[in-house]
Amino acid sequence: MNHDIDVKKMRINCFRQSKVPGEFMLQMRAPGGMVDAKYLSSIEHISKTWGDGNFHFGTRQTFDIPGIKYENIDAVNEYIENYITEVDEELCDVDMDKVAGEPQEWDVKSGYPTIGARNITACVGNYHCICGNMNTYELARKIEPIIFPSHYHIKINISGCPNDCNKAHMCDFGIIGTAKMEYHPERCIACGACVRNCEHGATRVLSLNEDTGRVEKDPCCCVGCGECVRACPAGAWTRSEKKLYKIIIGGRTGRQTPRAGKMFLNWASEDVVLNVLRNWQKFSAWVMDYKPEYLHGGHLIDRAGYKKFKEIILDGVELNPECLVAEDIFWHETEYRSNFNVKPLSMHHTAGPQGE
Amino acid sequence: MGYSLNPDQTAELLNRLAEDYRIYAPKRFPKQGRYSDTDIIRYDRIQTPDEIVWDQKSDYPAKEVISPIQQALFYFTEDEYRESKKAKKPVLLLARPCDITAQLVQEKIYAENGGFKDLYYDRVHNKVKFAVMDCGGGDDTCFCVSMGSNKPENYSLAFKFDENGLKAEVSDDCFADYFDGMPEDDFTPEFVEENELKVTIPDLSDRDVRLALKSHPMWKEFDKRCISCGSCTVACSTCTCFTTRDICYGDNPEVGERRRVTASCQVAGFDQMAGQREIRSTAGDRMRYKILHKFHDHKARFGDRHMCVGCGRCTHMCPEFISISATVNKMADAVDEIKASLADGGNHVE
């Protein structure tokens, strides 16, 4: 076959190049990793009709269908119109006629318009899990219209509790569901179950005061996981009704400097999380001089420096009273190559508007 | 005398009753459950009819109104002490049939055991009038009929709530005036006659059978499954065990209070004695103790009825899905096995 294919254009369309010339793998978004099971028959149809009959669970919870020949991509894009419309436009209220907030009409037969803002992943959260503190996929569906469609890259992982099964620590912008726990001493039987659970499964912030028969807490180090609530036989611990979140930024894998993310916000309200994300495009655009590159959020924070990131990302955001913000971030990277960072000045990356 | 009240009249009735009574009923506490975004239902003081949860069993029992999880018994200063003040206003407690029958067991322990009447229980209990609430047959953890607790006798009012209001029967004349001008109806309460769940309690009158049951391997299952959290006993309608704690105020050991705090035979350390010895050191031992207490020992001592009223709250609240009815049925199978073995030449079951 004739191999004159613009693979970068295909990638933006969410078709990833295969090692087999002329073949591509479609990646279908599933925000929060949760969709109606009826779409599985659509996935099967695409795979059996245009793919190689196999299906892969994308590492970012996309439906991945490999083995699609280049010449069938138009047919596939036409077929997935329904899926994109129902999942992104209707379920998540995404405006498909905008890219990064700027008007750009979506050709409904052309498939996904951008790949930059990656699929938002999530654990199953409190929809099912006994540990979860929040409904993860509902939050994902609220975030989806803020970040998508856009050519600016961001990987968002949502974990329903600080156990972080979905690795909020390993992405650009990780969200961890927490709650402030409320103690009702009049219901406490001083059995110590919460103390043991916290010690065993969390940060050992509880202790039983034998003189008062009450449980005491070091609130500074509480991660807001809810293990005390789960352990209590008498309902003496309850989750605050208000859902709160930890935001972990700058985590990444990669060939140069993989690292776990660090905490940016603690005890942020949902409004704060959404408003911070509304500043993401602005921050990304500023760092890259308004020209989207294939570069992920953690690198953008590195280029701008954390303090500049903080300035732009918190611009106009009214923090809830409980919310704490990292004054600085102390990254801890794996340097695959020693002094990787030390190089001629001409090789240094730039950040911010570069003028003419 | 029976009545049929619309929602407005129901609210008016509660207003009238609230003038003379503190009204307690099952109430929903949104998002305060063990798991995120789940509710709990427990007894609390209510003001309006829409606070009353009548179509769902409460997670925690009605006993909390009379014998709360924690209470200050008395306060001390050097060599003087003063009893905690008792509430003056009587209580009207809206409870299910099983809850009301359970009060017979509570009374037995607090007021009729060992010739001693517990003052702090008695002074509350004497001020409580019961309104029995129609439970609509309960849920799939209920076995009140098997335990004979489905038809309580000690109640002053009978209520049946539905979307259209309240049907009520007044069986204690002291409540008649509150219904002045309310529409009469020929309502009489009906009690559940059959549960989906039935429990057969094995005959444990034979001492040899009991001894063999004590060491039967069935209890070992709970060493692995039960986490000894005590959720079952806190949720139990009839458990009465408590401990006391002397709490000193600040750094002055001469001033403080004595508190009564709920205790649980399922929590490790409950039976720890001087020298650190524990009689029941495994979860299986503790489960056996509870099951036998509820389905043999209490009746053997007091003669009238088994302690368990079949409200099913322990099953409902167990985080490890241990079902008390399934456990009793397993015990019944073990007893059959033991009896067959004893009849077969007395080979003890290990």
Mutate to test the interface with B, among A180, A182, A187, A244 (most CBs of B within 10 A): A187
In a domain, B258, yes or no: no
Identify the closest residue of chain A to B267 by CA–CA distance: A191
CB contact (8 A) between residue A238 and residue B31: yes
Contact A156, A118 (CB under 8 A): yes
Output the CA angle B21-B71-B40, nearest 5 degrees.
70
Mutate to test the interface with B, among A189, A196, A230 (most CBs of B within 10 A): A189
In a domain, B350, yes or no: no
Query: Residue B60: its chain A contacts at CB < 8 A?
Result: 234-235
Which residues, including other chains, have CB under 8 Å from residue A256's CB and lie 6 or more apart?
A336, A337, A340
Q: Is the pLDDT of residue B225 over 70?
A: yes
**Smallest Cα distance from A233 to chain B, Å:** 4
Q: Is the ipTM of this complex over 0.85?
A: yes
Domain span at B105: 2-62+86-179
Identify the closest residue of chain B to A133 by CA–CA distance: B36
Closest to B59 (Cα-Cα) out of A161, A285, A187, A217: A187
pLDDT of residue A1: 61
CB contact (8 A) between residue A238 and residue B231: no
Identify the closest residue of chain A to B69 by CA–CA distance: A187
Beta-carbon neighbour count of residue A250 at 10 Å? Answer: 26
Which residues, including other chains, have CB under 8 Å from residue A28's CB and lie 6 or more apart?
A14, A43, A62, A63, A64, A65, A80, A83
Q: Is the pLDDT of residue B350 over 60?
A: no
pLDDT of residue B347: 56
Closest to B71 (Cα-Cα) out of B27, B40, B110, B113: B110
Identify the closest residue of chain A to B31 by CA–CA distance: A241
Select A181-239's CATH number: 1.10.390.10, 3.40.50.2020, 3.30.70.20, 3.30.470.20: 3.30.70.20
One-letter amino acid at A63 equals: F
Contact B73, B84 (CB under 8 A): yes
List, for residues A173-232, the tens digit of each pLDDT value: 999 999 999 999 999 999 999 999 999 999 999 999 988 889 999 988 999 999 999 999
**3-class secondary structure per residue, B49-115:** HHHECCCCCCCCCCHHHHCCCEEEEEEEECCEEEECCCCCCCEEEEECHHHHHHHHHHHHHHHCECC
Distance, in Å, from the CA atom of B305 to the CA atom of B296, rounded to the nearest integer, reads 9
Domain borders along chain A are 1-115, 118-180+240-356, 181-239
Number of domains in chain B: 1
Q: Is the pLDDT of residue B55 over 60?
A: yes
Contact B218, B334 (CB under 8 A): yes
Chain B segment 54-73 residues within 8 A of A by beta carbon are 59-60, 68-70
Confidence of residue B345 (pLDDT cuts 50, 70, 90): confident
Sign of the alpha-carbon torsion through A59, A63, A67, A73: negative
CB contact (8 A) between residue A239 and residue B230: no
Sign of the alpha-carbon torsion through A57, A59, A61, A63: negative
One-letter amino acid at B203 equals: D
Confidence of residue A117 (pLDDT cuts 50, 70, 90): very high
List B91's β-bridge partners, or say none: B22, B128
Arithmetic mean of pLDDT, A312-337: 94
Mutate to test the interface with A, among B36, B270, B320 (most CBs of A within 10 A): B36
Determine the straight-line distance between the first and last CA of chain B, rounded to whole angstroms: 59
Can you tell me whether residue A213 is helix, strand or coil?
coil
Arithmetic mean of pLDDT, A316-332: 97
CA atoms within 13 A on the CB side of A142: 13
CA A87 to chain centre: 18
pLDDT of residue B348: 52
**Smallest Cα distance from B234 to chain A, Å:** 6
Identify the closest residue of chain B to A196 by CA–CA distance: B229
Closest to B143 (Cα-Cα) out of B321, B285, B329: B329
Query: Residue A126: its chain B contacts at CB < 8 A?
Result: 35-37
Sign of the alpha-carbon torsion through A293, A298, A300, A303: negative
In a domain, B140, yes or no: yes
pLDDT of residue A90: 97
CB distance from B245 to chain A under 8 Å?
A: yes
Contact B169, B157 (CB under 8 A): yes
| Mean pLDDT (chain B, rounded) | 95
Determine the straight-line distance between the first and last CA of chain A, rounded to whole angstroms: 43
Q: Copy the structure tokens of residue A48.
A: 């059996």
Distance, in Å, from the CA atom of B299 to the CA atom of B304, rounded to the nearest integer, reads 6
- Report whether the peptide linkage leading into residue A219 is cis, meaning its omega lies within 30 degrees of zero: no
Percent of chain A with pLDDT over 70: 99
Output the CA angle A70-A76-A77, nearest 5 degrees.
100
CB distance from B253 to chain A under 8 Å?
A: no
Distance, in Å, from the CA atom of A348 to the CA atom of B62, rounded to the nearest integer, reads 71
Distance, in Å, from the CA atom of B36 to the CA atom of A198, rounded to the nearest integer, reads 17
Nearest Cβ partner for A189 among B35, B60, B262: B262
Select A118-180+240-356's CATH number: 3.50.30.30, 1.10.150.130, 3.40.50.720, 3.30.413.10: 3.30.413.10
Closest to B145 (Cα-Cα) out of B330, B295, B311, B318: B311
List B74's β-bridge partners, or say none: B83, B258
Closest to A241 (Cα-Cα) out of B235, B163, B29, B164: B29
| Mean pLDDT (chain A, rounded) | 95
Confidence of residue B13 (pLDDT cuts 50, 70, 90): very high
Residue burial A301-329, b: 16+ Cβ < 10 Å; e: rest: bbbbebebbbebbbeebebeeebeeeeeb
Chain B segment 179-208 residues within 8 A of A by beta carbon are none
Domains A1-115 and A118-180+240-356 share a fold: no
Confidence of residue B98 (pLDDT cuts 50, 70, 90): very high
CB distance from B86 to chain A under 8 Å?
A: no
CA B185 to chain centre: 32
List, for residues B244-274, the tens digit of each pLDDT value: 999 988 888 899 999 999 999 999 999 999 8
Strands (E), chain A: 15-17, 23-28, 56-57, 63-69, 98-99, 102-103, 121-122, 156-159, 173-178, 181-183, 206-209, 214-217, 237-239, 244-249, 262-269, 324-325
- The domain defined by A1-115 folds into Sulfite Reductase Hemoprotein; domain 2 (3.90.480)
Query: Residue B264: its chain A contacts at CB < 8 A?
Result: 189, 191, 233
Identify the closest residue of chain B to A212 by CA–CA distance: B247
Q: Is the pLDDT of residue B180 over 60?
A: yes
CA B218 to chain centre: 26
Helix A297-304 vs helix A280-287: angle between axes, to the nearest 10 degrees? 60
Q: What are phi and psi of B301, to 5 degrees?
A: -85, -45
Nearest Cβ partner for B234 among A160, A233, A239: A233
Identify the closest residue of chain B to A242 by CA–CA distance: B31
